[in-house]
């Protein structure tokens, strides 16, 4: 039996086990489900403004060509340390938007190839970094936390270290 079939059977079995456990504990399964669905809908509505704000900010950053200007200015430095400037948009966009950075990675792989240094570096960066600003603004904002300074700097520092380590590891392994 392959893993896909196992997964297809496993999910209904887990749901059935949860229902049986709830019945054993004398919990009204249907009412609990409806209550959870209502709570999920309310949470979705409360998160929506933060999501729209993040999408708006990301689009402004991407459409303004500010990143292109920054990359033109810093290209000599990155050439000196042998880091392809083509991956920098992804490294900068990744903490803001996972979808935008994924699109950049796909474009890099289409342009340079999946087995190229740039393709491997982009894939490694995508897998080793997180959408820090997106996560903080969405989750912290939805529960009303306004002071996110330390969490943001810790997350961004971790993303920066992940990018640096990605460059080093891909250079050592594939360089």
In total, how many domains does the chain have?
A: 1
Lowest mean pLDDT among 42-51, 94-103, 148-157: 42-51
Report if residue 116 sits inside a domain: yes
pLDDT range class, residue 110, cuts 50, 70, 90: very high
The overall pTM is greater than 0.85: no
pLDDT range class, residue 34, cuts 50, 70, 90: very high
Q: Which domain holds residue 99?
A: 45-174
Report if residue 22 sits inside a domain: no
Report if residue 67 sits inside a domain: yes
Q: What's the average model confidence in pLDDT over 94-101?
A: 86
Cα separation of 156 and 22, whole Å?
Answer: 42
Query: Alpha helix locations (H) across the chain?
Result: 3-24, 29-63, 66-80, 88-93, 98-112, 117-128, 132-135, 141-142, 149-174
Report if residue 25 sits inside a domain: no
pLDDT in tens, 121-164: 999 999 999 988 888 877 887 787 878 878 889 999 999 999 99
Report if residue 8 sits inside a domain: no
Report if residue 51 sits inside a domain: yes
CA–CA–CA angle 116, 169, 126 (5° rounding):
65
In the DSSP assignment, the letter for residue 11 is: H
Report if residue 119 sits inside a domain: yes
Report if residue 30 sits inside a domain: no
Nearest Cα neighbor of 88 from 78, 96, 76 is 78
pLDDT in tens, 8-29: 888 889 989 999 999 899 989 8
In a 10 Å sphere around its CB, with 0-12 CB exposed, 13-18 middle and 19+ buried, how is residue 85 labelled? middle
pLDDT recorded at residue 169: 95
Q: How far from the centroid of its chain's Cα atoms is residue 115's Cα?
A: 23
């Amino acid at each position: 039996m392959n893993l896909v079939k196992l997964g297809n059977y496993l999910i209904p079995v887990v749901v059935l086990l949860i229902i049986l456990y709830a019945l054993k504990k004398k919990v009204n399964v249907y009412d609990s489900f409806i209550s959870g669905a209502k709570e999920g809908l309310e949470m979705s509505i409360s998160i929506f403004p933060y999501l729209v704000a993040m999408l708006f900010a990301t689009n402004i950053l991407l459409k303004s060509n500010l990143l292109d200007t920054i990359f033109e200015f810093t290209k000599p430095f990155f050439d000196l340390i042998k880091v392809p400037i083509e991956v920098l948009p992804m490294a900068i966009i990744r903490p803001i938007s996972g979808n935008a950075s994924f699109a950049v990675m796909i474009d890099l792989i289409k342009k340079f190839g999946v087995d190229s240094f740039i393709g491997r570096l982009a894939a490694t960066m995508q897998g080793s970094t997180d959408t820090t600003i997106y996560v903080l603004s969405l989750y912290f904002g939805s529960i009303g936390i306004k002071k996110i300074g330390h969490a943001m700097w810790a997350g961004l520092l971790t993303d920066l270290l992940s990018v640096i380590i990605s460059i080093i590891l891909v250079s050592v392994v594939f360089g």
